[in-house]
């Protein structure tokens, strides 16, 4: 008989415990696949991008046309480069060089210096201002690699079993870069 009362109490209490259970913070985080369409907001281009949690910094395929040295002391170096999307016309862009980074060469020893610029990304409905290094990614399948700097800023969850889970349009205000 005691067990009967215990069972009744458990059955009565169980629904209230389920309702009172806190929702996971993961359910509020945007979910993206291992490959997504990403909009370069300030340039107006949509590009396929691979999510890469192993890369600290995002990387964009660009043909560097010219490096412009500062005209005055304390000025900033600038870079003029071209981005060619899979579909559509190439865009020529000029940006301030924020810094130079040394990146390991693929399948080789040594490093290569790459300029880092600021770009506005739209991924998973979030607009993110982030640093990106400009690279020759002709030998890669995806012209844009989204690194941890963008993934952490956007607080994204990645589902590696899916691709193209999100839209490349943004409704949120811009989040500052890392």
Q: How many domains does the chain have?
A: 1
Query: Taking CA 49 as the corner, what is the angle to CA 96 and CA 138, rounded to the nearest 5 degrees?
Result: 75
157-159 and 31-33 beta bridge pairing: parallel
Domain at 53, CATH number: 2.40.70.10
Asked if 14 and 5 touch (Cβ cutoff 8 Å), the reply is: no
Asked whether residue 178 is assigned to any structural domain, the reply reads no
15 within domain boundaries: no
- Tell whether 167 is covered by a domain: no
Asked, for residue 62, whether it belongs to a domain, the answer is: yes
Residue 3 in domain: no
Output the six-digit token pair for 52.
């890469």
Phi, psi of 32 (to 5 degrees): -125, 155
Structural domain includes residue 116: yes
CB distance 40 to 137 below 8 Å: no
Per-residue pLDDT 10s for the chain (178 aa) are: 555 555 544 465 555 444 444 444 456 889 999 999 999 998 889 999 999 999 999 999 999 999 999 888 778 999 999 998 888 788 999 999 999 999 887 777 788 899 999 999 999 999 999 999 999 888 788 999 999 999 999 999 999 999 999 877 786 666 665 5
Residue-range definition of the domain harbouring residue 144 = 30-159
Residue 166 forms part of a structural domain: no
Domain presence at residue 142: yes
How many other C-beta atoms are found inside a 10 Å radius of the C-beta of residue 2?
Answer: 6
């Amino acid at each position: 008989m005691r067990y009967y009362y215990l069972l009744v109490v458990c059955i009565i209490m169980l629904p209230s415990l389920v309702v009172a259970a806190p929702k996971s913070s993961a359910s509020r985080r945007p979910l993206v696949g291992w490959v997504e369409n990403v909009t370069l907001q300030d340039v107006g281009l949509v590009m396929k991008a691979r999510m890469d949690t192993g890369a600290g910094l995002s990387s964009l395929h660009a043909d560097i046309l010219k490096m412009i040295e500062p005209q005055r002391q304390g000025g900033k170096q600038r870079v003029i480069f071209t981005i060619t999307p899979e579909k559509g016309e190439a865009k020529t862009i000029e940006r301030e060089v924020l810094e130079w980074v040394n990146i390991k060469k693929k399948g080789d020893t040594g490093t290569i210096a790459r300029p880092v610029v600021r770009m506005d990304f739209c991924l998973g409905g979030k607009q993110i201002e982030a640093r990106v290094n400009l690279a020759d990614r002709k030998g890669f399948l995806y012209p844009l690699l989204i690194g941890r700097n963008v993934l952490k800023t956007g607080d994204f969850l990645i589902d590696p079993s899916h691709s193209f889970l999100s839209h490349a349009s943004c409704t949120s205000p811009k989040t500052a870069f890392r």
